[in-house]
Amino acid sequence: MILAEGGTGSGFGRPDAPVVTKILVRKNSYYDSVTLMSISTKVLALPGVAEAVVVMGTDHNKELLGNVGLLTAEAGAAEPNDLVVALKAADDQVLAAAAEAVEQLLTRRAASGEAQTEVAPRTIASARNRLPEANLAVISVPGRYAAREATQALRNGLHVLLFSDNVSVEEEIGLKTFAAERGLLMMGPDCGTAIINNVALAFANVVRPGNIGVVGASGTGTQEVTSLIDRLGAGVSQVIGTGGRDLSPRVGGIMMLQGITALGEDPSTAVVVLISKPPAPEVARKALSALKATGKPGVVCFIGGDPAMVEAEGLIAASNLHDAALKAVALSRSEEIKPFAWDPAWNLEEMASAEAARIASGQKYLRGLFSGGTLCDETMLILRREIGNIYSNTPLTPDFKIDGDRGFRHSAVDLGDDRFTVGRPHPMIDPTLRLDKLREEASDPEAAVILLDVVIGYGSHPDPAGALAPVIEEARRKAAESGRYLSVVTSVCGTARDPQNLDEQAAKLRQAGALVAPSNAAASRLAALIIKGLESR
């Protein structure tokens, strides 16, 4: 109810700009402060509204109104328990619209008894009350507060996926110990991938349900294996992320061990897969021993690790991520486990040979530009066996560290490394940096092969191939104009049911002239074969 209304007032903002004011007073009206602040913010956002003050009519608030030229006689007559809404706008039409908006907002609140608007819960406890059947919290807050939020969630009986990084190792140990004592999963910190009860969390793919359980300390490594499992016609039961630091000597694989135990007890899991960079030996021994103790067949992909240690426990070692998927699927179907071999049906040799034949004589180097850190590692391991050591910002050995940002000789750059993600989104989300790097590397007359991973699924860019395609086309065209041939080798990590659609992404890359291999390992092998072809000329 509007009890009072002001007239045209003096200028506000620009001294010569005519403005009009209106005062709404509601006698003895009570709205909670969140509501009042919300009304003020919404009305102030209306075009042409210069001022919207929503306060109770105390003497000092009237002084505040006077300070902004809004203390009319009506406002002055308000009492402490009266609600005063003071508006200032460019003209009468705007003012009328603003007043109407205020009335509607206040009326809606009053009619609803303040109770109908959905408000996001502000604490873990209230979120739990809102959704009592929830049993897991995904936490992504600045690192300094992450441990506190995770503790709240654990104390509320929730499993946790902690996406945040910059959590101290002491906090990580504390959280994981705290969780383990309560039989809860503490995935992370810096855990980007999990699939729990068929629900993909953070960066994960739409993978069909099945009987293969995965515990992964590597995000894109886990995505690659689970996507390939799906593409091989099998499915996953649970995918538990641990965070990359879990298998360090200090953390001791607390979450990996708990994940193994959980999958061992899970009746829907028939096969257990472990994915990680090589852990500390004592941690690896504990993990392998725990896996063996489940009595379930296990595949272990310690990327670049020693297979003998795995096989000594009677478990199956995978030589790369694709191999891990193949072996897990075979085990899940009780099929014979075969040593890994590059499938002739992939035509890698033929494709490599054709590409090498088109590459000009001065072109000799491979340049990998990766969004997935584990995929970059896997590539370097495969390439090292085929063409020797690879330079990188995250090299396999320190001697091959790149100085600066540009590729050097044969190189593979992890663009998801902290160095590149300060102040900008991860390249899986925002391809801008990689597109710039792609243009840069492609313009190097010595570059022969560009190797790219394309990671799709939840969390990733909505159309990474669509973003890459025009730049690949442009780079190849410019190379051709200068008498060169640029070979672009890619793979897509994901499934046909991902929002971006594996097949559509692959088609866009092919359309742009890129080769699309069936996995990152296969793409790496293909790139290596092209380089070997060039070296043998």
Query: Given candidates 44, 76, 77, 114, which one binds other proteins under the rule CB under 8 A?
Result: 114
CB of 196 to other proteins, least distance (A): 22
Applying the rule CB under 8 A, the residues between 132 and 151 that interact with other proteins are 142, 144-151
A 10 A CB-CB count for 468 gives 26
A 10 A CB-CB count for 278 gives 14
CB of 295 to other proteins, least distance (A): 33
The 3-state DSSP composition of the chain as helix, strand, coil percent (nearest 5) reads: 40, 20, 40
Helices (H) and strands (E) in the chain, counts: 19, 19
Applying CB under 8 A, the span of 127-135, 210-218, 307-315, 448-456 interacting with other proteins comes to 127-135
Place of tokens 């996953």: 236
Place of tokens 């390439």: 383
Residue pair 39/96 in contact by the 8 Å Cβ criterion: no
Mark residues 31-50: x for contact with other proteins by CB under 8 A, - for none. Answer: xxxx-xxx-x----------
Query: Given candidates 22, 26, 88, 128, which one binds other proteins under the rule CB under 8 A?
Result: 128
- Position 519 contacts other proteins (CB under 8 A): no
- Three-state SS string over 352-400 comes to HHHHHHHCCCCCCEEEEEECCHHHHHHHHHHHHHHHCCCEECCCCCHHH
- Position 418 contacts other proteins (CB under 8 A): no
CB of 65 to other proteins, least distance (A): 10
- Position 230 contacts other proteins (CB under 8 A): no
- Position 126 contacts other proteins (CB under 8 A): yes
Residue pair 477/517 in contact by the 8 Å Cβ criterion: no
Residue pair 465/438 in contact by the 8 Å Cβ criterion: no
β-pair type (236-241, 209-216):
parallel
* Beta carbon nearer to other proteins, 167 or 195: 167
β-pair type (83-89, 49-56):
antiparallel
Applying CB under 8 A, the span of 121-129, 207-215, 455-463, 521-529 interacting with other proteins comes to 121-129
- Position 349 contacts other proteins (CB under 8 A): no
CB of 430 to other proteins, least distance (A): 25
CB of 116 to other proteins, least distance (A): 6
CB of 104 to other proteins, least distance (A): 18
Query: Given candidates 9, 174, 307, 395, which one binds other proteins under the rule CB under 8 A?
Result: 174
Amino acid at 92: D
DSSP letter for each residue of 235-288: -EEEEEE--TTTTSTTTTTHHHHHHHHHHHH-TT--EEEEEESPPPHHHHHHHH
- Position 1 contacts other proteins (CB under 8 A): no
Q: Which residues bind other proteins (CB under 8 A)?
A: 30-34, 36-38, 40, 54-56, 58-61, 63-64, 67-68, 80-81, 113-119, 121-123, 125-126, 128-130, 142, 144-152, 155, 167-168, 170-171, 174-175, 178
